[in-house]
Amino acid sequence: MKKYKDVVDLHDDHGRLVASNIPVAALSPLVNPAIQKIVAYVKQCVAVNLQGVQTALTTGEVGGKWSMLRGRSTKVDLVGNAEAVARDLKETLQVKPKDDTEVKVLKEGKNLLVTVPAARLNAGVEYTTSATAVAAGLCHVVIDKFNIDMWDADLVHAAVWGRYPQTMDMLGGNVVSLLSVPQQNEGMGYALRNVLAAHIAMITRKNSMNAAALSSILEQTAHWEMGDAMGNFERFHLLGLAYQGLNADNVVYDIVKENAKTGNLGDCVKSTVNRAIADGVIRPLEKTKSGYTIYTTNDLNKWNAYAAAGLMAGTMVTCGAARAMQHTPSVFIYFNDLLERETGLPAVDWGRVAGTGVEMSFFSHSIYGGGNPAVFNGNHIVTRHSKGFCIPCVAAAVALDAGTTIYTPEKLSGVVGEVLSEVPELREPLKYVNEAAIKIKGEF
């Protein structure tokens, strides 16, 4: 990792100053302990729908929609015995006594939040270890504890694992990780980008600032994993994460506040330009005959970070005013169009956000696509083009929606979002990442 001189002021989700002059490097996924913990939790935490397992066993409805096995049924009271199941599952998963294994019973036994010990992940190379360990462990617990005989063991497998291994993933299963199976990743290093915006909104309990932060952490961290945040491109991502996702220097919050009552997207563009000029990020280069001023910069990466923060603010103002998520692709295209026409400088991600907006508008508004913004993630052929700058805005917009869609985030996320919102670092990432950065600021 290169050395960077950049320092930023950290703010909380309400725009209150938390600390000044923190090295931006302290926000890097390579060193920030909270980001690393968040990533670890994403890998280690698994949601179990215990009620789902019980229902599947009772009804024989396993392995996906309308898959109903006639004559197959086993009655097991998992929910009623959730505490005991949790205790046994913990013992099964634990590598050493008092290690980081955790099994938490939620919703009166209907759900479990399982943290698989890091030792299990460290003993392998795939993040799927968590899901496989929990699924396998749960099967053992159910079969042992409830004396399931050989003739019904397959049904337990299907109730837990779904249709796997006829399918590549756990289709219709009741063990869910935030991360999808590697075969579903668009390319190398895409795992952290494969998280629905709906999950993010639900995990952060629809606090749009935290939704933006969590999504930005996952999206931008993925770019280190993809090999993108390297050399001269590392600072591009680092500043992007800081300003767009983590509200560095309060740029996002300030622009939202400035336009909160009556502003529109165009006003957010103006606020962004104004702020960039005021902070010395851009300056006039020349005036054309018509009187138009072309701006320039000596720090294109910083300009990108400001533009990305403006984009986030533009999303929050537009989708916030409408309390609706569907506006996001329009914001992606036209915030950037207007910003380029206002300054003569390339907009966020040098056109890639606008491009993503073009395709996303098509997919979220027409017959060729499918789905409102809540079903989007960065691991899709429509959205992967932007290097981490779109999905955080989508997540924030989903969090701001008042209920305009039929496929709501609640419906799409199912138990995952609800269960993982119990993890404080995932629910309030801004707070924890800021605190961690303050702790390590002296290292730079």
Partner 1 sequence: MSKEKRMFLEALRRKFKEAPEEKYTKFYIFGAWRQSKRKREFMEYSKKIAKQRNIPMYNPELHLGAPLGQRVLMAYRMSNTDIYCEADDLHFINNAAMQQMWHDIRRTVISGLDAAHTVLQKRLGKEVTPETVNGYLEILNHALPGGAVVQEHMAETNPELVKDCYVKVFTGDDELADEIDPRFLIDINKQFPADQAKQLKEVVGKRVYQVCRMPTATSMSCDGGTMARWAAMQISMSMIDAYKLMAGEAAVGEFAFAAKHAEVIEMGTLTPWRRARGPNEPGGIPLGYCADMCQASRVKPNDPVWVALEAISMGAVLYDQFWFGSYMSGGVGFTQYASCTYTDDILDDFCYYGADYVKKKHGGFGKKKPSWDLIKDVATEVSLYGLEQYEKYPACMEAHFGGSQRAACVAAGAGVAVSLATGNCTAGINGWYLSQLLHKEEMGRLGFYGYDQQDQCGSANSFSWRSDEGLPFNLRGVNYPNYALNVGHQSAHTGIVSAAHGGRGDAWTTNPLIKIAFADKNLVFDFTHPRLCFGKGALREFMPAGERTVIIPTH
Partner 2 sequence: MPEYKPQYYPGSTLPSKNRRKYLDPEYKLQKLRTISDDDLVRIMGHRVPGEAYKSTHPPLEETGEPACPIREIVTPTPGAKAGDRIRYIQFTDSVYYAPVTPYVRAWMYHTRYRGVDVGVLSGRVPLEARERDLEKVAKELVETEIFDSARCGIRGATVHGHALRLDENGLMFDAYRRYLFNKKTGEVDYVKDQIGVPLDKPISVGKPIPETELRKRTSEFRIDGNAFRDDKELISWMQRIHMLRTIAGFDPEKVKGI
Of positions 385, 392, 397, 408, contacts partner 1 by CB under 8 A? 385
- Residues within window 352-371 making contact with partner 1, judged by CB under 8 A: 352, 354-356, 358-359, 361-363, 365-368
Of positions 215, 304, 356, 383, contacts partner 2 by CB under 8 A? 304
> What is the DSSP secondary structure assignment for residue 68, as one 8-state letter?
B
Of positions 317, 348, 412, 433, contacts partner 2 by CB under 8 A? 317
Residue type, 178: L
Instruction: Number of residues interacting with partner 1: please give it, by CB under 8 A.
Output: 35
Which of 292, 368, 407, 432 is labelled catalytic? 368
In the complex with partner 2, the residue whose CB is nearer, 120 or 206, is 206
Q: Do 70 and 76 form a contact (C-beta atoms < 8 A)? A: no
- Residues within window 359-388 making contact with partner 2, judged by CB under 8 A: 361, 365
Distance CA 426, CA 180 (A): 18
Q: Do 81 and 138 form a contact (C-beta atoms < 8 A)? A: no
User: Is residue 289 involved in binding partner 2 (CB under 8 A)?
Assistant: yes
What track of x and - describes contact with partner 1 for positions 170 through 209 (by CB under 8 A)? -------------xxxxxxx--------------------
Q: Dump the DSSP string for 297-339.
A: -S-HHHHHHHHHHHHHHHHHHHHHHHT-STTHHHHHHHHHHHH
Residue the block writes with tokens 């075969």: 183
CA-to-CA separations, 75 to 53, 154, 156, 404, in angstroms, rounded: 11, 14, 11, 39
User: Is residue 398 involved in binding partner 2 (CB under 8 A)?
Assistant: no
- Residues within window 324-353 making contact with partner 2, judged by CB under 8 A: 324, 326-327, 329-330, 333-335, 337-338, 340-342, 344-346, 350-351
Instruction: List Cβ neighbours of 166 (8 Å cut-off, separation of 6 or more).
Output: 63
Q: Do 385 and 408 form a contact (C-beta atoms < 8 A)? A: no
Closest contact distance (angstroms) between CB of 186 and partner 2 is: 20
User: Is residue 257 involved in binding partner 2 (CB under 8 A)?
Assistant: yes
Instruction: List Cβ neighbours of 6 (8 Å cut-off, separation of 6 or more).
Output: 23, 24, 25, 235, 238, 239, 302
Of positions 44, 180, 207, 220, contacts partner 2 by CB under 8 A? 207
The phi, psi pair for 141, rounded to 5°, reads: -65, -45
Q: Quickly count: other Cβ atoms within 10 Å of residue 230's Cβ.
A: 13
User: Is residue 327 involved in binding partner 1 (CB under 8 A)?
Assistant: no
Is there a catalytic annotation at residue 368?
Answer: yes
Catalytic residues: 368
Binding site residues, partner 1, CB under 8 A: 168, 183-189, 226-228, 230, 233, 346, 349-352, 354-356, 358-359, 361-363, 365-368, 380-382, 384-385
